[in-house]
Amino acid sequence: METYNYTDLSEQRIEELCTRQLSDDDTIADRVKDIINTVKAKGDAALFDYAAAFDNVALSQLFIEKSEIAAIAATIPAEAKQAIDTAYANIRTFHAAQLVKEQKIETMPGVSCWREARAIEKVGLYIPGGSAVLPSTFLMLGIPAVLAGCKEIVVCSPPQKDGKTNCYLAYCAVLLGIEKIYMTGGAQAIAAMAFGTATVPKVYKIFGPGNRYVTQAKQLVLASGMTAIDMPAGPSEVLVIADETANPAFVAADLLAQAEHGADSQAILVSATQEMIDQTLLQIGIQLKDLPRKDVAEKAIANSYAVLTENLEQAMDFSNIYAPEHLILATASFEELIPLIINAGSVFLGNLTPESAGDYASGTNHTLPTSGFAKAYSGVSIDSFIKKITFQHISPAGLTAIGPTVEILAAAEGLQAHKNAITIRLNSTDGY
């Protein structure tokens, strides 16, 4: 992990450091285009073929239903069941508080305006899975979808070697009331939900993290105009701002927690003290030796770096340019830094708040913008699964009050029919 001195960096160099562009992005885009076009043309047949090619599974059908999901869920270990129950409760509590009914506003006497929420009817949830165990993502997407009231929730997840799902995802499905899981993953799952197949329903919006193929597929189906997506996303990332009050072992653990996601993940350390950087790098070397995913984490750490700043304010300046998915303020003075945060997906305050708590069970959502998109996007929430529709009602007194304003503005823009829509009502003798 290389160390840079912030004061020595030009604006251009800082922008380069904050760019998450990988050399083979164009190659991946071409591969994903082929997958999407194949699924669009061949439907279910393509999904069976890709399951065999990518997952090494010969599927007999593309989904498992409620009874089989329940049977798989029943095999979950007791301690895992309890952990999922706790995470479910915390995530649901946090997201349920976001269901706020807005008030009607009288903008002038007799003119009332308001907004009402309506759930997106058909949503698709992509849950990375297969041989991995990723119940947290299912909870993070499924809970707000259910709370929002989405009528059709389509769940896609890569099959295990037996063509089924694991007990952890099955148990989440039971908690969420999901009656069917489609056994397809990768870019082909995104294409199936975007275009629909004989088996997989077409949805209006697709949610969920994934590898670079999944991310590219989401962006391509969005560009095609076929379906919306939750946000652009890429490899996972964390930026830790640490001062002299931080524990280097804690900081190293947080950086490695992100690094073990994948070789293309980034773990950035920013500090105003060289000693903190040196001690953290030492701890990374110590802790790395014992990680089961050591090879993956090592590659990610090699793809990462540290930045030495003059003070915490300068550290925040760099963080806002980088716009991290996860921002950890490993400092006792985090309260003073909160107002300085402009761009971040989710923030973890103090020395006892690891990013992994938010990944699993604190309650906030872990589906977050990456690759600098935190400058313009928020993480998944209840709002992600709803639309806000505006309403207005005008009374007779309101029409008299607002009418002349609309007539003048419509005339100024040369839109006579707009003006007439007001005038004909004002001049009506029928009453209103």
* Residues belonging to the active site: 325-326
Strands across the sheet containing 63-65? 63-65, 180-182, 152-156, 122-126, 205-207, 228-229
- CA gap 305, 300 in Å, rounded: 10
**DSSP letter string, 141-167:** HHHHHHHHT-SEEEEE----TTSS--H
- CA gap 142, 1 in Å, rounded: 37
Residues 94, 201, 130, 378, CA torsion sign: negative
The residue length of the chain stands at 432
**Helix (H) / strand (E) containing 2:** strand 2-5
- CA gap 305, 277 in Å, rounded: 10
Tokens coding 175: 């908690």
Tell how far CA 137 is from the center of its chain: 10
Place of tokens 């009506």: 428
The answer for residues whose C-beta is within 8 angstroms of residue 236's C-beta and 6 or more apart is 209, 258, 261, 262, 265, 325, 326, 370
Residue 359 in contact with residue 326, Cβ under 8 Å?
no
Single-letter amino acid code for the residue at 195: F
- CA gap 60, 373 in Å, rounded: 40
The answer for residues whose C-beta is within 8 angstroms of residue 252's C-beta and 6 or more apart is 280, 281, 283, 284, 286, 287
